[in-house]
Amino acid sequence: MSFDIPVPDLTSERIGNTGTPGVWHFDSGVAGRTLMISSLVHGNELCGAWAIKELLASGLTPRRGALILAFCNLDAFDTFDASRHDASRYLDEDLNRVWSEARLAEPNSRERRRAVELRPWVERADWLLDLHSMHEPGKPLQLTGTQPRNIALARRLQAPEYVIVDAGHKDGVRMRDFGRFGDAAQVDACALLTECGYHGDPASITVAKDQIARMLAESGVVDTADVPAGWLQTAPAAQRVLEVTQPVVAPSMEVRFAENWQGLERLAKAGTLIGWADGQPIVTPYDNCTLIMPSLRQLVPGVTVVRLARDYVAPAQ
């Protein structure tokens, strides 16, 4: 697959205005939410970096509350090579798996040390939009976690078309679920992770800008009219909300798929073959099972290679 997004020049942007490299903070002086928009949590996911770079260039500042913009794993980004872009995902460990008190208390990797630097800004945010992209071509996905308030926010945003209710990864906690974002009692602490499309697809930048536009307006930090022209795209006719019931985690390097799954395939019958792990079949556990983000590109033992999902049913009130 070709990588068609140019590498952004972040010479100016990486300085920031906070004393924390790559972090920008703008305070309106008027009461309101603090919205954080993060990019480059993985060093090869450039769409969010381009979107935030252009947002800074637009001169937009908040009318109410405050706005935090972050270029996160700059050290990994600095190693980026389009011909082997997966190698710049992280340096020592995945920055989006270290967001627990136990791991942050032992900053023994470059990613953990960077997370410690970013932590005060994440904790300051009321709402978080974390911009990512995907190993394989596919439609954009909004990953909400399991908090009902995040699902409700994703529906109010009206885009992208697919909303995925997921509990995260067994190998570590995402920024999206850190601290009060993962606390059911914190009713206004909302966090969304948007997978904007394939890493190298320029359309992922358009998705990132659209998501930023929607979050800026919905948070109340700005008015819709303040959003840069052309950023807000036409919303899909409807959204489809899917709940991940289980991940398929690689037990070893001996994992392969039965077909070249692209993601969002809806397999009608329980027991349909998905692939094999250590020679044992992986099959759908129920009818109308949807495959979410199947990929073997980052295959190592313990990594999720596909998630299995069904239509989401909101719990009874």
Copy the structure tokens of residue 168.
Answer: 């995260």
The pLDDT value given to residue 315:
79
Q: Which fold has domain 244-311?
A: OB fold (Dihydrolipoamide Acetyltransferase, E2P) (2.40.50)
Contact (CB, 8 A) for 56 and 13: yes
User: Rounded to two decimals, what is the model's pTM?
Assistant: 0.95
Look at residue 317 in the predicted model and tell me its pLDDT: 63
Predicted local confidence at residue 170, as pLDDT? 74
Which positions ≥6 away from 281 have C-beta within 8 Å?
273, 275
Domain parsing of the chain, residue ranges? 13-226, 244-311
Residue linked to tokens 């999206």: 176
User: Which residues, listed in sequence order, are joined to residue 193 by a DSSP beta bridge?
Assistant: 130, 143
Place of tokens 């706005």: 67
Structurally, at CATH architecture level, domain 13-226 sits in 3-Layer(aba) Sandwich (3.40)
Residue 126 pLDDT: 98
Which residue type, as a one-letter code, is found at position 17? Answer: N
Residue 172 to residue 119: CA distance in whole angstroms = 16
Residues near 271 by beta carbon (within 8 Å), at least 6 away in sequence: 283, 284
Beta pairing partners, 164: 143, 242
pLDDT for res 93? 97
Give me 38's structure tokens.
């993060």
Give how far Cα 90 sits from Cα of 137, 177, 183, 270, 292, Å.
21, 19, 27, 37, 23
Q: Which residues of the chain have pLDDT under 70?
A: 316-317
